[in-house]
């Protein structure tokens, strides 16, 4: 085996990339980079029926957005390609035939009907090895004559196949429990059982990281390595990510699709960071980590054997931490499309809106709703002015709104300090509490019971012209009652 660590990510293009797939790729990437190795992308598309159009492009997009950079793949040749399984049919055929010659596999001519008729216990169709002892010459003659066939694994009798998984420890399966499964299908395409072995060997993969659903099949794959006389790779199987206590996240049910989260306004780096923590805990106990920090800390002893539950609330919190940690300019750049969606048209101060939102949303997708009040302003329920604790009622509100209008009309410094100073001194002159004026002014400016900021912040966001228009509108509304 090569001295350089080589790992791979081998997605099947059967739909979108859910969080569990992404995590597998991420860990394989982190492990390779931590060890100064190479990370390879391989597309496992031998199941033509399940292949979905556009899914390969989605894999590229996802890895790019996630910041997972591969050294070799379909578009980056490292000399052991092709990296797309459907382009490797000749290779699988050649190796399947070689395995037959070595006694590790055999031709099987059983028809579909026959296979269906041999049902074992609980309705399974474990193959009864009918073709296992056909003399090779005879089998080859039948193949040459054009008879349809598959190639099956010849599982040796009476052995126990064991290996040591880097996460789960010792795994052993007795050969009695392993079926002579199909390696090469009648259409000439390999099954996963065969392709994963041939490809991982030919691509020099030293460490196989994949989902725990393959944990107990791996002894079977190892028997193929042994039959070829190839060195087995190391294995790190990863525990499942659950939707809840009983169900795994599943592509089939549309669960937790990476790109859906981006569309909802999650930052890719925050999602990746959260995903990393599903099943791995760095020794430092850190939660918020850059890719480089994850690479530096990623070791197999931190990977858990138990399943983890995907918790969107936690991911949301982490995303919020990323947003808060941005500079104002960075946040402005990422939030602008959402702000524009929230206040289509309107001459609002978008920088000010961004400033206000940065500490108030955990995902960017929540911005439009939070700022919707900016857009629609009209008749509202005056009961909103009644606030016992603030000592505000309709009379106080009337006075407060007038005080605000008088104080702000002539103000040129339309910013927080300027507005605050003008309101404070006007409140004092009118012998009102600052809180009474601010509370009334906030309602008058927005017509909303709650807003993402106080009166002054709202006034800054709205700008002078719009603020004055709204204050006058509210004054009229109050006067009418
Ligand atoms: N194509 C397999 C899957 O998507 C990959 C398994 C593996 O990594 O070996 O589940």
- Rounded CA separation 469/418 (Å): 19
Query: Looking at the DSSP assignment, which residues form a beta bridge with residue 106?
Result: 152
Average pLDDT rounded to a whole number, residues 157-175: 97
Identify which of 44, 47, 190, 221 to mutate to test ligand 1's pocket (most ligand atoms within 8 A of the CB). 44
pLDDT tens-digit series, residues 67-118: 999 999 999 999 999 999 999 999 999 999 999 999 999 999 999 999 988 8
Rg over alpha carbons for the chain, rounded to the nearest Å, is 32
Residue identified by tokens 């910041």 is 67
Can you tell me the mean pLDDT for 221-242? 97
| C-beta of residue 422 within 8 angstroms of C-beta of residue 467 | no
pLDDT classification of 253: cutoffs 50, 70, 90: low
Q: What is the pLDDT of residues 308-357, one digit of tens each?
A: 999 999 999 999 999 999 999 999 999 999 999 988 767 788 998 999 89
> With 70 as the cut, is the pLDDT of residue 153 above it?
yes
Contact call for residues 410 and 443 (beta carbons, < 8 A): no
Q: How far apart are the first and last CA of the chain?
A: 86
Mutate which of 214, 216, 220, 236 for ligand 1 pocket (most atoms within 8 A of beta carbon): 214
Residues with CB under 6 A from ligand 1: 10-12, 44, 196, 210
Can you tell me which atom of ligand 1 is nearest the CA of 21?
A: 4
User: How far apart (Å, rounded) are the C-alpha atoms in residues 333 and 337?
Assistant: 8
Is 8 exposed, middle or buried (CB count within 10 Å of its CB: 0-12, 13-18, 19+)? buried
- Per-residue pLDDT, 2: 67
Contact (CB, 8 A) for 368 and 357: no
**What would the DSSP string read from start to end of 307-333?**
-EE--HHHHHHHHHHHHHTS-HHHHHH
Q: Is 251 a catalytic residue?
A: yes
196 CA: nearest ligand 1 atom? 9
CA of 9 to the centre of ligand 1 (A): 8
- pLDDT-derived band at 208 (thresholds 50, 70, 90) equals very high
Catalytic residue among 251, 264, 341, 402: 251
Number of neighbours of residue 397 by Cβ within 10 angstroms = 25
pLDDT band of residue 53 (cuts 50, 70, 90) is confident
Q: Which atom of ligand 1 is nearest to the CA of 11?
A: 4
Summarize the chain as % helix, strand, coil (round to 5).
Answer: 50, 10, 40
Give all domains of the chain, ordered by start, each with its CATH number: 6-72+241-312 (3.40.50.620), 88-238 (3.40.50.620), 326-375 (1.10.8), 382-479 (1.10.10.350)
Asked whether the whole model's pTM tops 0.75, one would answer: yes
**366-419 confidence digits (pLDDT tens):** 999 888 888 878 999 999 999 999 999 999 999 999 999 999 999 999 999 999
The length of the chain, given as a count of residues? 481
């Amino acid at each position: 085996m090569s001295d350089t660590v080589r790992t791979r990510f081998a997605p099947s293009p059967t739909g979108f990339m859910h969080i569990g797939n992404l995590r597998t790729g991420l860990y394989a990437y982190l492990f390779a980079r931590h060890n100064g190795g190479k990370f390879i992308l391989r597309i496992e598309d031998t199941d033509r029926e399940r292949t979905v159009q556009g899914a390969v492009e989605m894999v590229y997009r996802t890895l790019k957005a996630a910041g997972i950079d591969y050294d070799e793949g379909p578009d980056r040749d490292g000399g052991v390609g092709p990296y797309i399984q459907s382009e490797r049919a000749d290779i699988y055929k050649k190796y399947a035939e070689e395995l037959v010659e070595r006694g590790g596999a055999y031709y099987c001519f059983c028809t579909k009907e026959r296979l269906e008729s041999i049902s074992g216990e609980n309705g399974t169709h474990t193959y009864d090895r009918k073709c296992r002892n056909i003399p090779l010459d005879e089998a080859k003659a039948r193949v040459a004559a054009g008879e349809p066939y598959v190639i099956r694994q010849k599982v040796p009798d009476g052995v126990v196949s064991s290996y040591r998984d880097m996460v789960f420890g010792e795994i052993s399966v007795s050969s009695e429990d392993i079926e002579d499964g199909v390696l090469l299908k009648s259409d000439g395409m390999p099954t996963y059982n065969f392709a994963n072995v041939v490809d991982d060997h030919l691509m020099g993969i030293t460490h196989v990281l994949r989902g725990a659903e393959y944990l107990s099949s791996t002894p079977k794959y190892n028997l193929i390595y042994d039959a070829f006389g190839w060195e087995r790779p190391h294995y790190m199987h990863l525990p499942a990510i659950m939707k809840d206590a009983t169900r795994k996240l599943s592509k089939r049910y549309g669960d937790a699709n990476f790109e859906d989260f981006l569309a909802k306004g999650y930052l890719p780096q925050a999602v990746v960071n959260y995903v990393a923590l599903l099943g791995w805990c760095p020794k430092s106990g850190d939660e918020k980590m850059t890719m480089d920090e994850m690479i530096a800390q990623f070791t197999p002893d931190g990977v858990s054997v138990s399943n983890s539950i995907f918790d969107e609330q936690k991911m949301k919190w982490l995303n919020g931490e990323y947003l808060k940690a941005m500079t104002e300019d960075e946040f402005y750049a990422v939030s602008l499309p959402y702000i524009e969606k929230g206040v289509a048209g309107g001459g609002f101060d978008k920088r000010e809106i961004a400033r206000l939102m940065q500490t108030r949303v955990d995902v960017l997708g929540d911005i439009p709703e939070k700022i919707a009040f900016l857009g629609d302003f009209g008749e509202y329920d005056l009961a909103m002015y009644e606030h016992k604790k603030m000592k505000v009622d309709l009379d106080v509100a009337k006075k407060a709104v007038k005080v605000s209008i008088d104080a702000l009309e002539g103000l040129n410094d339309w910013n927080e300090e300027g507005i605050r100073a003008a309101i404070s001194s006007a409140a004092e002159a009118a012998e009102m509490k600052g809180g009474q004026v601010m509370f009334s002014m906030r309602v008058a400016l927005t017509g909303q019971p709650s807003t993402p900021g106080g009166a002054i912040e709202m006034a800054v966001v709205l700008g002078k012209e719009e603020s004055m228009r709204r204050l006058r509108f509210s004054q009229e509304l109050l006067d009418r009652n």
